[in-house]
Amino acid sequence: MRKVMYLMGSLEDTDIEWLGSNGTRLHLKPNQVLVREGQPVESLFVVMDGQLACRSGAAPPAALMSGEVVGEISFIDSLPSPVTVTAVDAARVLAVRRDVLQSKLAGDTRFASNFYRALAIFLADRLRAAATQPGYGGRAPSAVPAAPEELGDNLMDTVSHGTRRFDNLLRRIRSGG
């Protein structure tokens, strides 16, 4: 599931407008570094289009496509980035500065509740996926029950609303408005 679809599905239309108005549009060139491992992350990024590569140590890179969120872990714990994120090809991202987003969260409890719940859901999803990998916690892969493949109706509704809102934001970003 693309993280932004759940995030935007959990927020209100006015919150999405706020993100678009308060974010900065960045145009990345191929091989341009967006986030560097071990460095502070000063923004939360939404990949609007293009492809990014997320690398940590010797692990194979993970592809990040349109609809992915970058910097959410560092946003939550304020620690330096555990990964380096680089543009594979030309890409556009929406960057919302940490201080601007924190001010919005502090002043709007409904936005904060929805925002943090969405972050918790997709971080839990990532942890659940990692827990099913061989070697996690010393367990054999067969010792971990498989996660259900189907999304519940509530999650499907949220993702559907998020997809519509992301498409609207993408049109707004592309038109420069």
pLDDT at 149: 42
pLDDT over threshold 80, residue 154: no
| 73/81 Cα distance (integer angstroms) | 8
pLDDT over threshold 80, residue 92: yes
pLDDT over threshold 50, residue 142: no
pLDDT at 155: 57
Annotate 90-110 with DSSP letters as a single string.
SEEEEEEEHHHHHHHHHH-HH
pLDDT over threshold 70, residue 162: no
Higher-confidence position of 9 and 81: 81
Q: Taking residues 94-113, report their average pLDDT.
A: 96
Q: Taking residues 72-77, report their average pLDDT.
A: 92
pLDDT over threshold 80, residue 102: yes
For the chain, what is the mean pLDDT?
A: 82
Domains of the chain in start order, with CATH, are: 3-132+150-175 (2.60.120.10)
Handedness of CA 97, 103, 108, 110 (dihedral sign): positive
pTM of the predicted model as reported, rounded to 2 decimal places: 0.77
Q: Structure tokens of 142?
A: 């067969």
Q: Taking residues 77-98, report their average pLDDT.
A: 96
pLDDT over threshold 80, residue 28: yes
